[in-house]
Amino acid sequence: MVRASTIAWVKRMELGVLAWGDGGWGDELARGAMVTIAIASAAYVVGSVLGILFAAMKLSGSSTLRSLATAYTTAMRGMPEMLVIYIVFFGGGSLGTWIATNVLGVRGHVDLPSFAVGVVCIALSVAAYACEVIRGAVLAVPHGQIEAAQAVGMTSLQRNRLVVAPQAFRLALPGMTNVWQFTVKDTALVSIIGVTEVMRSASIASNATKQPFTFYLAALAIFIVIAYLSQRLFTRLQQSADRGVRWGA
């Protein structure tokens, strides 16, 4: 019974639409998956670098730098990301158009490259979250170890490079794993400015074939596979960072 109905259900889904090449949408979905991974990776790297910068500002002795970084992270974490994307994309486009007409004297409309805008917008939000994770990790490095570095006469740069950074890296990994997982999910948002990542590929395909369930299920499978593989990668990283430092590692 169960078998028969399952087969009927699968038949109704007509999995042929997932075929590769001109006959199906499999290759489009795969390309969407690549775009998703590319956006997420680029945004994660850029966002992490910015996050380190903001964390350094928050931990610095200058109250101006501290307030700037705090203002940024507070605003960024309180804002819907969709709003950030619209503001950068349309605001940037209007600004570009204005500069083109009023400064360069060229007529016409400027469109920003949506892939780059998508990466930048997601990176801006990654930076806000990464900043908190990294700041917490730096503060969790035992103070005595920093004093020991001072006591042998290391400069603050050496101290940060040799003692703080390697340990903060290990301590930040669990939080940064989380940040990666939501970076991947956030890529779905850039479909609104026309980037053809997984969600947009699935939506185009389902509109064309009138089989939304099939394609959104496929999108779900893609996200689960990405989540699974990246979880394994981060677990590996954590294990190698923990080697020798923690008991049993």
Stretch that binds another protein, among 50-58, 62-70, 137-145, 215-223 (CB under 8 A): 137-145
Q: Quick check: 147 binds another protein (CB under 8 A)? A: yes
Q: Quick check: 222 binds another protein (CB under 8 A)? A: no
What does the buried/exposed string (b/e) look like for 12-41 if buried means 16 or more CB atoms within 10 Å of the residue's CB? eeeeebbeeeeebbbebbeebbebbbbbbb
- Residue selected from 2, 61, 103, 247 as contacting another protein according to rule CB under 8 A: 247
Residue 187 · residue 197 · CB < 8 Å: yes
Q: How far is CA 244 from the centre of its chain?
A: 30
Q: How far is the CB of 239 from another protein (least distance, A)?
A: 14
Q: Quick check: 104 binds another protein (CB under 8 A)? A: no
Q: Quick check: 240 binds another protein (CB under 8 A)? A: no
Residue closest to 201 by CA, chosen among 82, 45, 34: 34
Q: Quick check: 138 binds another protein (CB under 8 A)? A: no
- Residue selected from 16, 80, 166, 174 as contacting another protein according to rule CB under 8 A: 166
- Residue selected from 61, 105, 108, 144 as contacting another protein according to rule CB under 8 A: 144
Residue 151 carries which side chain, given as an amino acid letter? A
Using the minimum distance from each CB to another protein, give the nearer residue, 19 or 148: 148
User: What are the CA-CA distances from residue 186 to residues 14, 180, 234 (Å)?
Assistant: 30, 10, 19
Stretch that binds another protein, among 10-18, 111-119, 150-158, 218-226 (CB under 8 A): 150-158
Q: Quick check: 162 binds another protein (CB under 8 A)? A: yes
Q: What's the CA gap between 34 and 172, in Å, rounded? A: 27
Q: What's the CA gap between 162 and 61, in Å, rounded? A: 21
114-140 and 26-59 helices cross at what angle (nearest 10)?
40
Stretch that binds another protein, among 59-67, 118-126, 145-153, 203-211 (CB under 8 A): 145-153
- Residue selected from 167, 183, 187, 196 as contacting another protein according to rule CB under 8 A: 167
Using the minimum distance from each CB to another protein, give the nearer residue, 12 or 246: 246
Q: How far is the CB of 165 from another protein (least distance, A)?
A: 10
Q: Decide: helix, strand or coil at residue 159.
A: helix
**How many chain residues bind another protein (CB under 8 A)?**
23
